[in-house]
């Protein structure tokens, strides 16, 4: 090598070393974000399925009615247990929804990906449904249930019971759509992640 060129680092070696460092950083961040997104989506979807398919049927099972010495037509204590569980269920839904939104924003910031319109819209919708359920529907159902059993008049109790049944049916239908949306969200986050917008800048030629 000529004396005038000694001490000058070859451009190819410099590019390769810089590329390695960039790839290591991007790969570590991408792997961590992917892990967080998959775990959160799995917990979110699994909790919804477990609560609807196993917890609630168990709370209103014949064994539970016998334990509380109540009839199926008048499940006062079973309903109280379900009400307490619903509070925690909606809290979990809100937490998972918030994590999912932060996860999508973090992918945009750290990996240079554009926010997916469908994915973000789906997550925000599910998060808003969790907020509505936790901060409006659940307290409203709790008030109706209280009036159903401790209303001042028979007419007031009957009206509360009818309203409770209507809102319960609506919540069941919405919950089916929520579980379907959570399944779609889980499938999306478990797919192979698309490369970031700036990924080509770090590739070795």
The H-or-E segment that residue 11 falls in is helix 11-50
pLDDT band at 18 (very low <50, low <70, confident <90, very high): very low
Mean pLDDT within 110-126 = 89
Round to whole Å and give the CA distance between 29 and 131: 30
Round to whole Å and give the CA distance between 91 and 150: 27
Q: What is the mean pLDDT of the chain?
A: 84
Mean pLDDT within 79-87 = 95
Rounded percentage of the chain residues whose pLDDT exceeds 90: 68
Tokens read off for 190: 């478990």
Apex CA 194: angle with CA 191 and CA 197, to 5°?
160
CB 96 within 8 A of CB 37: no
Give the chain's count of helices (H) and strands (E). Answer: 7, 0
pLDDT band at 112 (very low <50, low <70, confident <90, very high): confident
**What is the pLDDT at residue 156?**
95
More confident position, 199 or 36: 36
Say whether pLDDT at 178 is over 50: yes
Residues in the chain: 205
Domain boundaries, the chain: 12-192
Say whether pLDDT at 88 is over 80: yes
**What is the pLDDT at residue 187?**
95
pLDDT tens digit string along 139-163? 999 999 999 999 999 999 999 999 9
DSSP string across 161-175: HHHHHHHHHHHHHHH
pLDDT band at 115 (very low <50, low <70, confident <90, very high): confident
């Amino acid at each position: 090598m000529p004396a005038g060129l000694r001490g000058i680092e070859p451009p190819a070696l410099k590019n390769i070393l810089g590329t390695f460092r960039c790839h290591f950083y991007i790969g570590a961040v991408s792997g961590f974000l992917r892990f967080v997104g998959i775990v959160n989506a799995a917990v979110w979807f699994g909790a919804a399925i477990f609560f609807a398919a196993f917890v609630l049927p168990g709370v209103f099972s014949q064994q539970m009615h016998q334990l509380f010495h109540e009839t199926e037509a008048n499940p006062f204590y079973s309903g109280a247990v379900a009400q307490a569980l619903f509070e925690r269920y909606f809290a979990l839904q809100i937490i998972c929804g918030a994590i999912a939104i932060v996860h999508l924003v973090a992918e945009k910031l750290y990996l240079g990906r554009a926010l997916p319109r469908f994915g973000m819209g789906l997550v925000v919708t599910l998060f808003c449904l969790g907020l509505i359920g936790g901060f409006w529907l659940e307290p409203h159902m709790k008030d109706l249930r209280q009036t159903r059993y401790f209303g001042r008049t028979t007419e007031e109790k009957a009206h509360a019971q009818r309203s409770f049944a209507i809102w319960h049916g609506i919540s069941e239908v919405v919950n089916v759509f929520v579980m379907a949306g959570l399944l779609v969200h889980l499938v999306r986050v478990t797919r192979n992640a698309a490369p970031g917008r700036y990924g080509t800048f770090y590739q070795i030629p």
